[in-house]
Amino acid sequence: MLTIIFTYLVCLTVFNKRTGIVAAMLLAISPWHVFYSRNAVELISLPAMFSISLYFLFKAVKEHKPI
């Protein structure tokens, strides 16, 4: 669930709202994501951590103010 939310937020930050909704929808119905999220907790944590860290990286770069 976190991967879908943060995928939406990353696409919203980089592109626009429509792209974020489409990306989150495609991830939510992706057979690989659904299968691995049901069976393997360790394996599905990598995309979640990657999307969370990517979102905070884009947020930090966007809000960075030079000294």
* Contact residues for 23 (Cβ-Cβ < 8 A; gap 6+): 7, 8, 11
Q: What is the DSSP letter of 30?
A: -
Q: Is the pLDDT of residue 39 over 80?
A: no
**What average pLDDT does the segment 3-31 reach?**
94
What single letter denotes the amino acid at residue 61? V
SS3 3: helix
pTM, two decimal places = 0.82
pLDDT digits (tens, 9 = 90+) for 22-37: 999 999 999 988 887 8
CB 3 within 8 A of CB 10: no
